[in-house]
Amino acid sequence: MTIMPRQKILRLILGDQLNEKHSWFKTPDRQVTYVMMEIRQETDYVKHHIQKVAAFFAAMRAFAKRLGALGHRVVYLKLDDPKNHQTIADNIAYLLHKKKFTHFEYLLPDEYRLDAQLREIVEKLPIPHQVADTEHFLTERQELEKFFAGKKRFLMESFYRWMRKRYNIMMDNQQPVGGQWNYDQKNRQAYDNKMPIPKPLLFKNDVSDIDRTIRKNRVKTFGEIVPEKLIWPVTRDQALALLKAFVKDGLPAFGTYQDAMTAKSWFLFHSRISFAMNTKLLHPLEVIETAVNAWAKKKPKISIQQIEGFVRQILGWREYMRGIYWSLMPDLASMNYFKHATALPDFYWTGETRMNCLRMAIEQSLKHAYAHHIQRLMVTGNFALLAGVHPADVDDWYLGVYIDAIQWVELPNTRAMSQFADGGLVATKPYISSAKYIHSMSDYCETCEYDWKKRHGDMACPFNSLYWDFFARHRKNLQNNPRVAMMYRVWDRMDRVAQKEILKQAAVYKKNLNQL
């Protein structure tokens, strides 16, 4: 009888792979050791918000502890551990050599960068390796590309309908429950004080130790933190509690006010579960099912427009953006359709601007590492696009500032959707607006030093002249787009003197972006 040598397997868990329901963790196995690592490779590839780094490390530490409690063997390398070699490649090489592992396994990373790196690492390994799925997403990496094969545009709506049918979410014999797929028209209300804004469930995670380590090791970060009270969920129990709180308090008005912005609240009726989902503490299907079940039970309180609006975000937008990422990478990361080259204004890092909408959105981003979707798209993103900021600068800011920012979801949202740098594969027209939209969807203009009604002259709102200047300077790229043709007709009919004044005003503002 031949005796098989005992296998010793090393399994890598990345910081956004905290899915305790994964089949890897079904039963503890003494032949398997899991490794998790806090590394400079990940803290330094972009400048991150301090809360983002702290929340990732706190969630990773809690996950390692949880695995240990479930009986799994875990090696956890803290940032300042002398044995930590600070890159995945070096740590893996060190552990394989030191502990004589016979096999190496990892979970499919969500970022192109890490995917390439891990493939390179395993190619050079002297031992066998295996890759497993994260069992998190509802579509395969390349599925969206196949779905849209041969199409010029990737329309989210058709993908979303297909996903509803495929997962049988709110369906009745292949037709949407309620008879409509889309309630967007009803879901575009400004906040009118009719529904009280819920009190947020904020956690008080003490991350002082992590905060000290980050600072002692001179990791470059920005933004604010109260290290004794990190508000973000770092365990599955906390993530579930946040989901429960949202379903009870936010969901009943989610759809109605999903595009609203107000100085009264930094999150309104939004769920704030993106960090929990992106680290995989929560599974998208359990989020959808929890919300749909609540709707089914409390129909008069939670109307169909609310639940449909929410399901669309996760079953539709989130999976769609991931598919876009994998079908357009690596090219997406360098696309710049408008050839924009301006540097990101300094106030994105400080919030010091007289433009109230930008000040509010940026200040809360620096304070909480969070802004809701319409602030990201129609305030900070809108302004960067109108001002002609280089998409690489815009990406670095979004990737650094938000608690939920991981490249697979940040990049398609920023470069493609918000900056139109893909030339319109994702969005059918650039997401830009003048002050009129911001005024109609928020109360920011009421207390702003600028006048939202003025296009030029003293304290004219910068969004107005920059808006028309954008159309004028990108005429070649845009005039044949049927979705914006109307704006060119308005511009062409405008009085010549007014046009000249607007462009003159825009030129002054573009020259003095940092002083706005």
Ligand X SMILES: Cc1cc2nc3c(=O)[nH]c(=O)nc-3n(C[C@H](O)[C@H](O)[C@H](O)COP(=O)(O)OP(=O)(O)OC[C@H]3O[C@@H](n4cnc5c(N)ncnc54)[C@H](O)[C@@H]3O)c2cc1C
Q: Show contacts with ligand SF4 in window 357-376 (CB under 6 A).
A: 357
Query: Can you name the residues that pair with 77 across neighbouring β-strands?
Result: 37
* Backbone Cα Rg of the chain: 24
* Helix or strand run (H / E) with residue 350: helix 347-350
Residue 506, interface with ligand SF4 (CB under 6 A)?
Answer: no
Distance separating alpha carbons of residues 290 and 447, to the nearest angstrom:
39
Q: Show contacts with ligand SF4 in window 379-438 (CB under 6 A).
A: 435, 438
Instruction: Choose which of 154, 325, 383, 398 interacts with ligand X (CB under 6 A).
Output: 398
- Partner from ligand SF4, ligand X, none contacting 318, C-beta within 5 to 8 A by type: ligand X
Distance separating alpha carbons of residues 110 and 130, to the nearest angstrom:
16
Residue 154, interface with ligand X (CB under 6 A)?
Answer: no
Other CB atoms closer than 10 Å to residue 375's CB: what's the count?
26
Spatial CB neighbours of 363, under 8 Å, sequence gap ≥ 6: 351
Task: Find the part of the chain contacting ligand X (CB under 6 A) among 124-132, 192-200, 317-325, 352-360.
Answer: 317-325
Instruction: Choose which of 19, 91, 205, 414 interacts with ligand X (CB under 6 A).
Output: 414
Task: Report the candidate in 7, 42, 23 with the shortest Cα–Cα distance to residue 135.
Answer: 23
Size of the site for ligand X (CB under 6 A): 27
> Is residue 28 reached through a cis peptide bond, with omega within 30 degrees of 0 on the bond before it?
no
Instruction: Choose which of 282, 329, 355, 371 interacts with ligand SF4 (CB under 6 A).
Output: 355
The letter for the amino acid at 103 is: H
* Helix or strand run (H / E) with residue 59: helix 50-69
CB of 104 or CB of 275, closer to ligand X = 275
Distance separating alpha carbons of residues 219 and 213, to the nearest angstrom:
9
Evaluate the CA torsion angle 318, 321, 326, 327 in order and state its sign.
positive
- Partner from ligand X, ligand SF4, none contacting 444, C-beta within 5 to 8 A by type: ligand SF4
Query: Can you name the residues that pair with 12 across neighbouring β-strands?
Result: 35, 106
Instruction: Choose which of 17, 262, 271, 353 interacts with ligand X (CB under 6 A).
Output: 271
Instruction: Choose which of 405, 416, 487, 502 interacts with ligand X (CB under 6 A).
Output: 405
Closest distance to ligand SF4 from the beta carbon of 377 (Å):
14
Evaluate the CA torsion angle 161, 163, 164, 168 in order and state its sign.
positive
Distance separating alpha carbons of residues 4 and 7, to the nearest angstrom:
8
CB of 91 or CB of 356, closer to ligand SF4 = 356
Q: What is the DSSP letter of 312?
A: I
Closest distance to ligand X from the beta carbon of 244 (Å):
14
Distance separating alpha carbons of residues 116 and 402, to the nearest angstrom:
24
CB of 55 or CB of 438, closer to ligand SF4 = 438
Closest distance to ligand X from the beta carbon of 275 (Å):
8
CB of 327 or CB of 442, closer to ligand SF4 = 442
Residue 445, interface with ligand SF4 (CB under 6 A)?
Answer: yes
Binding site for ligand X (CB under 6 A): 270-274, 277-278, 313-314, 317-318, 321, 372-373, 376-377, 381, 398, 402, 404-405, 409-410, 413-414, 417-418
Q: Which residues bind ligand SF4 (CB under 6 A)?
A: 355-357, 435, 438-439, 444-445, 448, 450, 452, 461, 463
